Chains A and B, each alone.
Chain A
Amino acid sequence: MIKKSLHKRENELANSHRQLEILSNGIFQNGGLPTFKTKISETGQFPLKAKTLEVLQINLGYMCNQVCSHCHVDAGPDRKEVMTRETMQYCLEAIEGSGAHTLDFTGGAPEMNPNFRWFVEEASQLGINDFIVRSNLTIIEANKTYYDLPEFFKRHNIHIVSSLPHWTRGKTDKQRGAGVFEKSISALKKLNAIGYGMPDSPLRLDLVYNPSGAFLPANQNAMEKDFKKILLEEFGIHFHHLFAITNLPISRFLDYLIASENYEDYMYQLVESFNPEAVRNVMCTNTLSVSWDGYLFDCDFNQMLELPVRHKIKHISEYNQELLEGRDIVISQHCYGCTAGAGSSCQGTLA
């Protein structure tokens, strides 16, 4: 199990340029596989254009209490990048004028940002329809500072989305760290106890599944059925929906693919599973991702690859919805991760 981020280890893949180099060379350069641009050009879908903004996803920082083996953010306790209150203020102004129906707070562990609660309190007053916090669950169990988080979430009608890669301890701990499964189960029970995830409850609790290795997720509905059955039978846990998310070949997952000699086979899988239907609904066309320091990206993955929006407006302080609409989406070969099979997004499958 890894203990430190790629950044802390000074691994070459902490460098986004190196990652992009790998994703553009090798099998994509020697003609073995078509680039993403070539592939979507074949189906008349190039260039991808931003549509009306629906989801504003804000990354509150890369600091996290966990060091998950496949984290695309390369988050961990050793990451010190956290959003300031000043940047949050710019975000609040942007949310008000954006017309987005969904606000999505992510990290790292967003709760570890010292201004997290203030930000949630302010943002929850803006009349957003769906206010998501991506909570890793174990933070609720981490120490007494966080014990009241379930009540805090409930008070602000937060929609909780949490990762749980498998219903077995072994598979979850292997991916997310020793002891994570037990703590996640305990946190889920606490959330259920105050109404989160219960059948017909308006307090929404969704889980995220991502594969534990170099393979794609199966049918989301079938997985949800299995997860629901087993979590209820074995632990008495309820939740609403399961989002099946494909691991994108960037950051730590790219490192894993290369180290385990699965990189080429995985890229073949992604390309062979290319689904033009998923391209039509791909999340970068209705989402804007804001980094901890306020810069704008077409999606969270582009943020991690340091591929900013292709537009003169680069920062949340200059936000203007009308101007950003219709911009060309920045793409590379990692985009195949969102268009494989039934497609993948932060809200699960697409097609």
Chain B
Amino acid sequence: MQNTYYDPADLKKFGAIREWNQELGDKFFEYYNSVFEEGSLSAREKSLIALAVSHTVQCPYCIDAYTHDGLQRGVTKEEMMEALHVAAAIRGGASLVHGVQMMNKMNKLDG
């Protein structure tokens, strides 16, 4: 048994999740691959969104995968970092916007 929670080599084994449920696994990967195809958004734009979301959900596998994917698509490090700031802004904003709820409650209790 490994003594760390994450092993970079496990990313290569992602497809193995099908072994314990082929039908749902197949459906997931079919859906996953369709999502990243060229559409109204380019595959490159989707890659940047995926990179930002990877940081929000803090998935090390996804971060490895979409840094690599972005590089392949010619995404620059400046574009990658800007995408992360979008994630950070939404994440920070999501905390702070609840400040209105805090203020409402405070005003009601002690206004």
Chain A contact residues, CB within 8 Å of chain B: 166, 168, 171, 209, 211-213, 215-219, 222-223, 226, 268, 272
Point out the residues of chain A lying under 8 angstroms from B44, CB to CB. 218, 222, 226
B76 A222 Cβ-Cβ under 8 A:
no
Point out the residues of chain A lying under 8 angstroms from B95, CB to CB. none
Q: How close is A340's CB to chain B, nearest CB, in angstroms?
A: 12
Does B81 belong to the interface (CB within 8 Å)? no
A218 B73 Cβ-Cβ under 8 A:
yes
- Bound-state CA distance A217–B44 (Å) is 13
- Bound-state CA distance A209–B71 (Å) is 13
> Which listed residue, B12, B68, B72, B76, touches A268 by the CB 8 Å rule?
B12
Point out the residues of chain A lying under 8 angstroms from B34, CB to CB. none
* Most chain A CB neighbours (cut-off 10 Å) among B12, B44, B71, B72: B72
Say whether chain B's binding surface is mostly helix, strand, loop, or mixed. Answer: helix
B72 A216 Cβ-Cβ under 8 A:
yes
Q: How many inter-chain residue pairs (CB < 8 Å) link A and B?
A: 29
- Bound-state CA distance A272–B71 (Å) is 18
B76 A213 Cβ-Cβ under 8 A:
no
For B, the interface residue count at a CB cutoff of 8 angstroms equals: 11
* Most chain A CB neighbours (cut-off 10 Å) among B38, B68, B74, B76: B74
> Which listed residue, B12, B42, B68, B76, touches A168 by the CB 8 Å rule?
B76
Does B43 belong to the interface (CB within 8 Å)? yes
Q: How close is B51's CB to chain A, nearest CB, in angstroms?
A: 14
A218 B74 Cβ-Cβ under 8 A:
yes
B71 A211 Cβ-Cβ under 8 A:
yes
Point out the residues of chain B lying under 8 angstroms from A268, CB to CB. 12
Point out the residues of chain B lying under 8 angstroms from A219, CB to CB. 43
